[in-house]
Structure 1
Amino acid sequence: MQEASDLDFCGLMLWIDRRQFPDAVEAWDGNWLCFRARMEADGATVRCDGPFLMTTDIARFRDQLHAMNQTLEGEASLKPLEPALAVVLRMQGRGQIEGVVEITPDHMSQRHRFVVEADQSYLPPLIASCDAILARFPVVGSED
């Protein structure tokens, strides 16, 4: 039986395992998360893992998703500093969402890009997933 993911969207699954530096109390070191990600589409599966994502990335993504859900406009981006994973969701007409997922286990020698389509009904579960991740791993310190 496969372990339930922390975030699941159109073939993208994300598991947050732990903080990279669990005892850190300042924002820069304290917010790095060790994660595993997998993107599946017809004929392809790409995986990556490591400390490439921060709690602040999840919080920003959640806030942008919330705004999209309220207005049915705009975009939400999960774009960490590290190039292992990037997700951009753009609201199209009539509540349709176009998404691009870029994922790679080795950004020096590989590049994988997936285009996905969804609708506004996917937003509340994505927001709830981000909220659950942030409940387990709250943002530490201040980015200022």
Structure 2
Amino acid sequence: MKIHLLGKEAAIQIEVVSRIYPNSLDYWDGNWIVTRISIEIPGYSVQFSANLRTDELRDFVKKLKVMNKKLKGKASLENIDGFIDIKCEINLLGKIYWEVETCYPAGTGAVLHFNFESDQMYLENLIKELDEVIIAFPILGED
């Protein structure tokens, strides 16, 4: 399963590979997923593996849906391990300003920080792909 975040001269792909602990039903252990992140921006091409959490993706897509509906607001994907942080804000004309920071290896490695713009038309597909990941890898252990 792949998630695509596209914009002007920027492409981020997050490929969800599997759960890290596939036999765990626990909220903490069961919601970690293995991903492969690819980023293409002018002058840089980056690929690395990252451990994300399904609840991080769920929280991100919830904020994106509100932002898309109201044409205002902010959304963010904040990875607890610091592999990737994505922040965005939309204006009333549907232009989205993205700020991305990656770190690999997480916490001690090289940091890439960049900004780009996209149009609201890209949000529908991003939301759809995130929803599909949450269906395939549902949040475990929530009350």
TM-score normalized by the length of structure 2: 0.91
Residue type of the alignment partner of 1:104: C
Residue type of the alignment partner of 2:3: L
Provide runs of 4+ in structure 1 moved above 2 Å: none
Residue in 1 that maps onto 2:23:
23
Aligned equivalents of 2:38, 2:14: Cα separation in 1: 7
What SS is found at the alignment partner of 2:111? Answer: coil
For each residue in 1:25-48, what CA deviation from the matched residue of structure 2 results, as whole angstroms up to 9, or x when unmatched?
110000000101011111101222
1:6 to 2, 5, 9: 2
Structure 1 or 2: more strand by fraction: 2
Q: Which runs of 5+ in 1 are unaligned?
A: none
Alignment pair present for 1:126 and 2:122: no
Residue in 2 that maps onto 1:79:
78
How many residues align? The count is 138
CA-based RMSD: 1.3
Aligned equivalents of 1:129, 1:141: Cα separation in 2: 23
Indicate if the aligned counterparts of 2:26 and 2:141 stay in contact, CA closer than 8 A.
Answer: yes
Determine what percentage of the aligned residue pairs are the same residue.
28
Indicate if the aligned counterparts of 2:36 and 2:49 stay in contact, CA closer than 8 A.
Answer: yes
